[in-house]
Amino acid sequence: MPLPLAAATAGANPVGTSSGGSVPRHVAIIMDGNGRWAASRGLPRIAGHRAGAEAVTRCLKAARASGLEYLTLYTFSSENWRRGPAEVADLTGLLRFYLRHKVAELHSQQIRILFVGEIHRFGPDLCAELARAERLTANNTGLTLLLALSYGGRSEIVQATKAIARAVMRGELDPDAIDENVVSRHLLTAGIPDPDVIVRTSGEHRLSNFLLWQSAYAELVFLEELWPDFSEASFNHVLEIYGRRERRFGARPA
């Protein structure tokens, strides 16, 4: 049975082709609704975050089965630091637990793990664990899992702009040579294809500072279900929606 959703399309393909049921290379997900899921059950917010972590496991299973190459999860936004100290501690504690107890399993599945964001804000101990996870899985050839941690799209663009400006000041880059490719190479996602699909759960219809540059032509899918309820069927339904979209990337329909 189709899941309740509202869907919006952003962009299309330069040659005006349909995705034709093909599997996208890259799906990015804004995992929203953990707090509301917990509140609706009279549970503390940490219970929602733990249930959301289980949804990640289901999502990964479906992504691997589909043949997807890249999956990006908005795990902790730069704005999440504004939450109460107890909730931030719960979130970082949950992250530490999964780094210590789940990375080996992901490694055995040939999943490559990358982290994007202002990772230094988590402190040296947790940063060391993040680095160990990246090193352990660096040569894996299966699904690439990007976890956006302390990430904000505007901040990413600002940092890329500063890096480009410094290259110009050093005489390494001609200002007239700056184009979209140069900007992309200075983003945290350099070398990663832009997402074909961005999904947001919980019925909210906004990007919330997520992959602002990279989402220029992504298909947008908004699901009503809360993230802890996300299932393998939910992921497959997203793929079905993508398969029905026509992507033109600004070109006129044929």
Kindly list the domain boundaries of the chain, sorted by start residue.
Answer: 26-194+205-214+224-229
Sign of CA dihedral 219, 220, 225, 230: positive
Whole-number pLDDT of residue 10: 33
* 20 pLDDT more than 80: no
**pTM for this predicted structure:** 0.88
Give the whole-angstrom CA distance, residue 181 versus residue 190.
10
* 205 pLDDT more than 50: yes
Confidence of residue 87 (pLDDT cuts 50, 70, 90): confident
Q: Determine the residue type at 33.
A: G
Confidence of residue 79 (pLDDT cuts 50, 70, 90): confident
**Is residue 209 annotated as a catalytic residue, yes or no?**
no
Whole-number pLDDT of residue 86: 87
Q: Is 203 assigned to a binding site?
A: no
Confidence of residue 36 (pLDDT cuts 50, 70, 90): very high
Confidence of residue 251 (pLDDT cuts 50, 70, 90): low
> What integer best gives the mean pLDDT of the chain?
90
Confidence of residue 11 (pLDDT cuts 50, 70, 90): very low
Give the whole-angstrom CA distance, residue 249 versus residue 212.
16
Q: What is the DSSP letter of 214?
A: T
Q: Contact at 8 Å (CB) between 78 and 64?
A: no
* Active-site choice (32, 194, 196, 229): 32
Q: Is 213 assigned to a binding site?
A: no
Number of neighbours of residue 213 by Cβ within 10 angstroms: 16
Domain spanning 26-194+205-214+224-229, CATH class = alpha beta
* Active-site choice (13, 80, 140, 209): 80
Could you report how far apart the first and last alpha carbons of the chain are, in Å? 33
Helices (H), 8-152: 34-39, 45-66, 85-101, 103-108, 124-137
User: If we measure between CA atoms, which residue out of 237, 171, 161, 249 comes closest to residue 201?
Assistant: 237
Q: Is 170 assigned to a binding site?
A: no
Give the whole-angstrom CA distance, residue 9 versus residue 242.
10
Helices (H), the chain: 34-39, 45-66, 85-101, 103-108, 124-137, 153-169, 180-185, 232-244
**Is residue 80 annotated as a catalytic residue, yes or no?**
yes
Q: What is the pLDDT of residues 53-67, one digit of tens each?
A: 999 999 999 999 999
Q: What is the pLDDT of residues 106-145, one digit of tens each?
A: 999 999 999 999 999 999 999 999 999 999 999 999 999 9
Q: Is 186 assigned to a binding site?
A: no
* 254 pLDDT more than 70: no
Q: Is 100 assigned to a binding site?
A: no
247 beta partners: 17
Q: Is 79 assigned to a binding site?
A: yes
Helices (H) and strands (E) in the chain, counts: 8, 9
